[in-house]
Structure 1
Amino acid sequence: MALDLFAGIPVADYSAALKWYERLLGAAPAFIPNDTEAVWELAEHRFVYIEHLPGHAGHARHTVFVGDFDARLAQIAERGLDPAERETYANGVRKAIFRDPDGNEIGYGGAPV
């Protein structure tokens, strides 16, 4: 069974969000289907997209688990973004939370060190 995932993030200012997500994700969108959406492919068949929906902006909460947690955070920092919060859970799993200009939460999770 094929499985594709599209995780949407509503934004108020499309241009500002586009620039911010390019910095967070380290690349231009994989494709832009129309004037109000931009889509990045995080892994095969796994996508995140922003959409200009001002009335819904600021309510998204997504977490992406990565195998290269420390390296990923270092790369994002090199592009000028730092996490708003960092957490370590009782089981040692780590999470870094970024917030876009609208307050949408994008977290990166990683296994214990």
Structure 2
Amino acid sequence: MTITNALAGIAVDDITEALDFYERLFGRAPDARPISDVAEWKLPGGGWVQILADSDKAGASTLTLIVDDLAEELGRLSLQGLKPVAKSMGDFFKTAKFRDSDGNQIIFSQPQHGTY
């Protein structure tokens, strides 16, 4: 078997409230709404991020998004009213962590030069 792609799922309590946050996070409306309680964004590399209404699991998800320029991304997100809850710089990655209204963790990560 060869794995060729991935779909990351994030459980939320209220899909309407979550849509506001994730549309600002991704800078656009979802690429697909296959059913009323699911929204999906396609990433340039081919993967997908899905938010889905699931009250039992809401707030327990983590998503890491790899970016080319973390500073640029933080500037864009700031204009959308989104501020990181934490930032860090390690030997391999610079990161900024965000939380949606359910407490799900979204991490933006930029590889350090020579590590990716």
Q: TM-score, length-normalised on structure 1?
A: 0.92
Render the CA deviation track for 1:26-47: whole Å, top value 9, x for unaligned.
Answer: 0100110001100001224211
After TM superposition, list the pairs within 5 Å mapping 1:1-113 onto structure 2.
3-89=4-90, 91=91, 93-112=93-112
- Distance in 2 (CA, whole Å) between partners of 1:77 and 1:92 is 24
Change in Cα spacing, 1:53 to 1:109, as seen in structure 2 (3 Å) is same
Q: Please say if residues 11 and 53 of structure 1, whose CA atoms lie closer than 8 Å, have aligned partners that are also in contact.
A: yes
SS state at 2:33 partner:
strand
- The one-letter code sitting in structure 1 at the alignment partner of 2:50 is Y
Identity of aligned residues (%): 33
Render the CA deviation track for 1:6-65: whole Å, top value 9, x for unaligned.
Answer: 000000011000110001110100110001100001224211010000010000011111
Give the drift of 1:2.
7.0
- Distance in 1 (CA, whole Å) between partners of 2:8 and 2:78 is 23
Unaligned runs of 5+ in 2: none
Deviates most, 66-75 or 1-10: 1-10
Render the CA deviation track for 1:73-106: whole Å, top value 9, x for unaligned.
Answer: 11111111010111112x1521000100000000
Change in Cα spacing, 1:6 to 1:92, as seen in structure 2 (3 Å) is closer
- The one-letter code sitting in structure 1 at the alignment partner of 2:44 is A
SS state at 1:109 partner:
strand
Q: TM-score, length-normalised on structure 2?
A: 0.90
Aligned pair count reads: 112
